[in-house]
Chain A
């Protein structure tokens, strides 16, 4: 069995989610992350403390604010450079996508989990993530197709 307690810098998992439903879903998945040395990030200072966690703070970015996106691009890059994760996982939204992209660039494995709210089609961020991540998950069995996998859901 692999020894996950080793404080090897190469074994850090970086888990990122925006405030709200994205973060709620990441917290439901927390038991899967607790076997590993995991660093969390979200978009609302104080939010992680409610879960008894520390989290890095990223600016909240969405498609409608170019400045917000630019700021988040920079901050997520700095964070990935500092944390040096060997795996990045995100339940969305855009800040998670950006962090996954930098994770990929810096050699980490990458996992996108599309929100369970997307039962008709994948989110736009999810589709973009699908072009480069190592594992792209939907939480709806009927949306699993090709590289888009279904491995369960948080309901």
Chain B
């Protein structure tokens, strides 16, 4: 199952339509958490806002996550080791207040298991790769190792 999530706060029509188009021609099992107030997909099942425990269950049973570039989604995908395709919101298209999602994508570019799609075509290409997409590795990212080690040293030196 492919789990699509755009968070619960803002609609994200561009991503929902792109996935809906893909679903219209190809037989993917997709479930979407699509947020409130946007367009409704015709070709896959969805909920506007899943309860946290249902969200967790969908996330864990999925074998691929497609999502806006939210921090919570990235941390959860790493925790459950799910391949993740990020589709950043763009401020000038009214998709968010600012372009912090693009900044987030820049930060995680090259991380094993995280793929960045910026338009419908690159998203479709990743769908076709499907099972070849890798999950995030168990290995800790360099910035994460750094903050843990630096914090430990700071505390040791200050108590």
Contacts and interface: CB of A to CB of B under 8 A. Distances in A.
A11 B155 CA distance: 10
Contact of A13 (B71, B98, B141, B155): B155
Interface of A: 2, 4, 10-11, 13, 20-21, 24-25, 28-29, 31-33, 35-36, 86-87, 89, 109, 111, 113, 115-117, 119-120, 134-135, 137, 139-140, 151-155
Given A29-B148, A155-B108, 5 more contacts: A31-B148, A87-B159, A117-B72, A134-B158, A152-B144
B147 interface: yes
A155 B108 CA distance: 8
| Chain B contact patch, size range | 20 to 34
Interface of A is mostly: loop
Interface stretch (B24-32, B60-68, B99-107): B99-107
Contacts of B145: 152
A36 B155 CA distance: 9
B69 to A, nearest CB: 10
